Amino acid sequence: MSLELIKDNLTNPALLFFILGILSVQLKSDLAIPRNSSKFISLYLLFSIGFKGGQELAHTAFDAQIIGSGLFGILLSVIIPIYTFFILKRRLSIENAGAVAAAYGSISAVTFVTAVSFLELQNIAFGGYMVAVMAFMEAPAIIVGVILIRLFAQNGASTEGNMGTVIKHAFTNGSVLLILGSLLIGWLASEQQAQGIAPFTTDIFKGFLAIFLLDMGIQSGKKLKSFLDQGWFTISFAICVALINGIVIAYTSGWVTSVEGDRFMLAVLGASASYIAVPAAMKMAVPKANEGIYLPMALAITFPVNITLGLPVYFYIVQNF
C-alpha cells in the first residue's frame, strides 16, 4: 500500500480535528461544541450530502450496475447483523448482541461524509445514488436486530412495541428522513436552482465537517475510558469486524460494479457502524440493551479505526484488485 496515501489521510484536517477533540478530553480541557450547534452541523452535513447526491442522481441513467449496487448494499445490511449476532451472543446477552449487531449492520452517515471528503482529495467520483443506498441500509439492520432478539431471548419482555412501530421508527428517524428528503429535492431541482445554493451546500462543507469531527472526537474521548473497562472482546470485535467487513466488501463489490468510487463507498458503508439511528431505535424497542456497550463500540472504536486506517486500506484494495 502507498505510504503517501496513508500520509495524505492522516494529515487530512478533518481527521486532525477529530484527534484534537480526543486530545482535549485527555488534557481535561473545557473545549466543547454547544449541543444545539452540533445538532445543526449534523443536520447540515446530511442535508448537503443528500442534496448533492440527488443532483448527481438526476444526471445518472439507471443501469444494471446501479441496481446491482443498491441491492448489494441492502443485502449487506441484512447479512452483517445476522453473522455478527451469532458471534456476539457467545459473550454478550441476547439483547446486547442484537443491539450491537444492528449497529454494525447499519451505517454511519458521518463516516460516509468523511469518505466523500477522502475521495475528493483523490479526485475520484462516485455515483449520487450511493446516498440512497446509505439511507436504505439503516432500516433493514435495525429490523433484523430486533427480530433476532425476539427469536433468541428467553422471554418476550426483551423487546417493546410491535414490529410495525419499529419499522416506522426506522424509516422516520430524523437522519434517514432528512437524507432521503434532501436526495429527492436535489433530484427535482434544476441545475440552475442548485447553483443558487451551491455556496451553502458545497463551499462550506469541509469546514463544517472539520468542526463536526472535532465534536465527535470530544464525544469519543469522553466514552473511551469507561468503555475500555468492558474488556478486550468488545474492543477487538469493534476493530476487527470493521476492517474485515470493509476489506471483504472492497473485494466483492467488484461483482456488482466496476466504478472505483462506488466500490469504495460500498466498502465504507459495510465497515461502518451506526451511533445515531440504531441507539435511537434500540432505546425504544430494546430498553434492556446496554447503550454503554454498543454506542462506544461504534463511536469510540470503529469510527476512528475506519477514518484513520480503514479508508486508505479499502481504497487501495478497490484500486488494485
Please tell me the predicted confidence (pLDDT) of residue 154: 67
Q: Which domains does the chain have, with CATH numbers?
A: 3-22+36-320 (1.20.1530.20)
pTM: 0.83
Tens-place pLDDT, residues 122-159: 899 998 889 888 888 888 898 899 889 888 886 555 66
Q: Which residues of the chain have pLDDT under 50?
A: none
Q: What is the pLDDT of residue 84?
A: 97
Per-residue confidence (pLDDT) for residue 173, from 0 to 100: 67
Burial 233-272 (b: 16+ CB within 10 A, else e): ebbebbbebbbebbbebbeebbebbebbbbbbbbbbbbbb
